[in-house]
Structure 1
Amino acid sequence: MEAIVMIKGKVDYEITLDPGVWIFDDRKVDLTTFFITEQETTDELEEYTKSVSKHWEREIREGAIYPPTLKTERTYEKQRVLNGSFGVPLKPFLQNAGIQDDALKVEFVTNEKPFIISIEEANEVILGFSMQGKPLKEDGPIYVYLGDGSNASDPVKHIKQINVL
């Protein structure tokens, strides 16, 4: 099984996706809660600023020595990564590939028949890469979850390539 997926077709740049490194990606989402909680759009710069401000305030109050609660948070995050099911949004990868103006659809090439959706729907897709802490080796390397969650219990599997048509 190939662990690399290419984005090809009507794009300015062909992109190589390696799901094995997405566990370290800050854009990852928890698939166990993503489709059942209400999603809100956030400004990444605003979120970063709030995070840095919170960290700075903590250092001013408590010093640079990490309090026991921070150690507990790190342990919890490590356990969550080792046991969780995760995905990443497809949209940033499509943006980086530079979809050409005449492109209308996105095709997900599988072992069976291709799965084709519009560019708008593809921008909402979540690419699953981990199930219960394990990479998707047997029927992966990635799963396709539609943004509305309609296929959350039965994602498109065996994705070999992504073609922009």
Structure 2
Amino acid sequence: METIIPIKGKVKYKITLDSGVWIFDDRKVDLNTYFNDEKESEDHLEEYTKSVSKHWDREIMEGAVYPPTLKTEVKFEKEKVLTGTFGIPFKPFLDNAEPEQDAKKIVIEYGENNQAVIPLEQAAEIILGFSKDGKPLREDGPLHVYYKDGPNKEQPIKNVTGFTVE
């Protein structure tokens, strides 16, 4: 199984994706909770103000609470990495490849000779699954493709071998 996946076609830069290093990437998302969580509020200032206000109110009522030690946080993150199911947004990689102005769609190549064609705008919203229960996707990987909001979360596109921008 090839673990290097190309993005090619009508792009300024042909790039390759290596899912083996994404476990260390801060952009990764937990696929067990990603499709269930409410999406981020667009008004980040309002969200920040509410969180600061809530924290301030708690400190006035209860006094200051100190965070757990760094040692327990590191242990928790290590455990999460070893047992988690993760994906990563495709948009940053697509943006780095810089699709040409006349590009309209992306072809996801998977399996032996299968293809899925989606509009370029929709392609920027897909999530690339790269690990399940702390292990790389060896049998039906190296990548799984999930559409935005998870309509195919039970049956993602598996055995992805490449992306072609057309």
TM class by shorter-chain length? 0.7 to 0.9
Label 1:134 to 1:39 Cα distance change in 2 as closer, same or farther (>3 A).
Answer: same
Corresponding residue number in structure 1 for 2:17: 17
SS of equivalent residue, structure 1 residue 120: helix
SS of equivalent residue, structure 1 residue 114: strand
Kindly indicate whether residue 130 of structure 2 is the aligned counterpart of residue 159 of structure 1.
no
Corresponding residue number in structure 1 for 2:64: none
Corresponding residue number in structure 1 for 2:137: 136
Q: Give the strand-richer structure, 1 or 2.
A: 2
Question: Is the deviation greater in 34-43 or in 105-114?
Answer: 34-43
SS of equivalent residue, structure 1 residue 20: helix
Kindly indicate whether residue 39 of structure 2 is the aligned counterpart of residue 72 of structure 1.
no
SS of equivalent residue, structure 1 residue 162: strand
TM superposition score normalised by structure 2 = 0.82
Report the Cα offset of residue 69 of structure 1.
Answer: 2.2
SS of equivalent residue, structure 2 residue 160: coil
Query: After the TM superposition, which parts of structure 1 deviate over 4 Å for at least 4 consecutive aligned residues?
Result: none
Identity of aligned residues (%): 55
Q: For the pair shown, which has the larger CA radius of gyration, 1 or 2?
A: 2
TM superposition score normalised by structure 1 = 0.83
Corresponding residue number in structure 1 for 2:107: 107
SS of equivalent residue, structure 1 residue 160: strand
Corresponding residue number in structure 1 for 2:33: 33
Q: 1:152, 1:142 → 2: CA distance?
A: 13
Q: 2:24, 2:164 → 1: CA distance?
A: 25
Report the Cα offset of residue 68 of structure 1.
Answer: 5.8
Q: For residue 132 of structure 1, what is the amino acid of its counterpart?
A: D
How big is the alpha-carbon RMSD for the aligned residues of Structure 1 and Structure 2?
1.6
Report the Cα offset of residue 78 of structure 1.
Answer: 0.3
Unaligned residue ranges in structure 1 (runs of 5+): 48-66
SS of equivalent residue, structure 2 residue 139: coil
Label 1:16 to 1:41 Cα distance change in 2 as closer, same or farther (>3 A).
Answer: farther
